[in-house]
Amino acid sequence: MAVERPDAGAVPKSAADWGIKDLAILPGDVKKTRRLRSPKFEGLPADASTMFEQLSVTLEQVVGSNDLRPAWWLEEGAARSRAVCKIDASGVDYKGRSGTWSGSGFLVAPGILCTNHHVLNSKEVAVRSRALFDFAALPDGTVRQVSTFRLRPDLLFWTSPVVATDGKGGLDVTFVALEG
């Protein structure tokens, strides 16, 4: 049996992907992601193991709702985490207390950082703050190489407090420009 592959022409089935493309859930394929797909064994070569094909016992079972995710979901999460940063801040916080604190933020556009008002409540605090990207531990316990950027409230600074001046709820959000 042979399988046509655009990049290599006809190749023996045992050297091909064993039908993996039929089982794979590709990023963005929402319909396939939402339902479980049972494997198809008929396309496997004779030397492939099919030991589970004839089992009459269920070895695994989903309890409650199915929260399984495809493997690409982890890769996508890791890629998106690159837009997240730790913010080190100091000065007078949103409650009027002097000190130092940390918070988190994320890029919403090139050079524009979004965080909370309780993290960056003023231009004075923002100008003394820094954003640390890739701030994470590695599996061996060491810390990744961190990329540090200054904030540029002189270019962009917009904030909505935790509680608005009229006593009603604010948005607790701040947008600030990022150096670089």
Place of tokens 């046509």: 4
Q: Residue 112 in contact with residue 105, Cβ under 8 Å?
A: no
Structure tokens at 173: 């959000």
Q: How far apart are CA 174 and CA 39, in angstroms?
A: 48
Global pTM value = 0.62
Residues in CB range of 12: below 8 A, 6 or more apart = 1, 2, 3
Per-residue pLDDT of the chain (180 residues; tens, 9 = 90+): 444 444 444 444 444 444 444 444 455 554 444 444 444 455 666 666 555 555 566 667 778 888 888 889 999 998 899 999 999 999 999 999 999 999 999 999 999 999 999 999 999 999 999 999 999 888 998 988 999 999 999 999 999 998 867 777 789 999 999 998
